[in-house]
């Protein structure tokens, strides 16, 4: 009985995650390389808009970096289209980096609360991302996969096959955040993703899958807790943040 439930759950889990084999060499993650997500709910738009106050230097007379990251599942449901726009960057300290981080920004705007990168395959920080094999990079390492911020204004559009707008799986970023860094990884500013528009039922094939829903908590319990590098702050703070993050994730399910 229990084993059959487990088997069904695992089948659903594997069906979800192993949508497409991306296990080329090298395999970098403890959970394998990142897998292409093929059942993203189309039309869900998540946007992270930078705040007016800079985290690194709140009294900066130039004000904060301006801009946003908007992400929407492609109409096919395969991968996520990103639109990145930043301007008013600091005049030194670049090229700047940006990532999807595992946790949302705390209410006080402290960017250390976002902890490490979104890394559901538990790849870690080293070796650095090889952009010609994006499936071997951390899912959240957007500047590693698609280029650092080397201009002002900086505009970039690309499709990432590994991030997801499907709540409940580790690669889901809708309840997470973007953090910008100086080249030395110091955190500059950060913003939460929020759902800026939802799909209206357009008569297309809704890809909701009950096995996906039931298996989701299995992935979610481990994935957001994979926090790596880049200054997680004091262990107490980190533990509380992990706890809070896990609770938040649970509530969002």
Q: Which residues, other chains included, contact 145 with Cβ-Cβ below 8 Å and sequence gap of 6+?
A: 129, 131, 134, 137, 160
Dihedral, CA of residue 124, residue 136, residue 89 and residue 81, to nearest 10: -130
Number of residues forming the site for Cu ion (CB under 5 A): 2
The total of other beta-carbon atoms located within 10 Å of residue 225's CB is 17
Q: Of residues 33-72, which lie at the interface with Cu ion (CB under 5 A)? A: none
Cβ proximity to Cu ion: between 99 and 176 the closer is: 99
Cβ proximity to Cu ion: between 41 and 93 the closer is: 93
Query: 11 φ, ψ to 5°?
Result: -60, -45
Of 2-10, 18-26, 95-103, 166-174, which segment contacts Cu ion by CB under 5 A? Answer: 95-103
Tokens of 231: 């200054």
Q: How far is the CB of 105 from Cu ion (least distance, A)?
A: 12
In the set 28, 65, 99, 137, which binds Cu ion (CB under 5 A)?
A: 99
Regarding 123 and contact with Cu ion (CB under 5 A), the answer is: no
Of 24-32, 96-104, 149-157, 220-228, which segment contacts Cu ion by CB under 5 A? Answer: 96-104
With tokens 């500047």, the residue in question is: 143
Of 19-27, 45-53, 78-86, 172-180, which segment contacts Cu ion by CB under 5 A? Answer: 172-180
Q: How far is the CB of 179 from Cu ion (least distance, A)?
A: 4
Q: With helix as H, strand as E and coil as C, how does 162-206 read? A: CCECCCCCCCECCCCEEEEECCCCCEEEEEEEEEEECCCCCCCCC
Regarding 179 and contact with Cu ion (CB under 5 A), the answer is: yes
With tokens 């993050």, the residue in question is: 245
Of 10-18, 47-55, 98-106, 234-242, which segment contacts Cu ion by CB under 5 A? Answer: 98-106
- For residue 83, give the 3-state DSSP assignment: strand
Residue of closest CB approach to Cu ion: 99
Q: Where do contacts with Cu ion occur on this chain (CB under 5 A)?
A: 99, 179
């Amino acid at each position: 009985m229990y084993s059959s439930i487990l088997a069904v759950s695992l089948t659903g889990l594997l069906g979800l995650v192993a949508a497409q084999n991306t296990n080329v060499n090298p395999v970098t993650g403890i959970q394998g390389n990142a897998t292409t997500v093929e059942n993203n709910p189309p039309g869900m738009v998540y946007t992270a808009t930078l705040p007016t106050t800079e985290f690194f230097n709140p009294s900066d007379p130039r004000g904060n970096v301006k801009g946003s990251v908007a992400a929407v599942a492609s109409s096919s449901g395969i991968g996520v289209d990103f639109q990145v726009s930043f301007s008013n960057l600091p005049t030194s300290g670049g090229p700047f980096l940006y990532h999807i981080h595992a946790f949302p920004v705390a209410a006080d705007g402290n960017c250390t609360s976002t902890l490490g990168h979104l890394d559901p395959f538990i790849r870690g920080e080293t070796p650095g991302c090889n952009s010609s094999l994006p499936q071997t990079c951390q899912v959240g390492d957007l500047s590693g996969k698609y280029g650092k911020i080397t201009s002002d204004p900086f505009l970039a559009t690309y499709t990432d096959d590994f991030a997801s707008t499907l709540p409940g799986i580790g690669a889901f970023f809708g309840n997470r955040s973007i953090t910008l860094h100086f080249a030395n990884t110091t955190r500059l500013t950060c913003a939460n993703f929020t759902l800026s528009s939802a799909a209206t039922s357009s008569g297309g094939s809704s890809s909701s899958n009950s096995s996906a829903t039931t298996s989701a908590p299995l992935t979610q319990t481990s994935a957001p807790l994979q926090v790596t590098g880049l200054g997680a702050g004091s262990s107490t703070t980190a533990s509380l943040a992990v706890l809070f993050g896990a609770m938040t994730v649970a509530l969002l399910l």
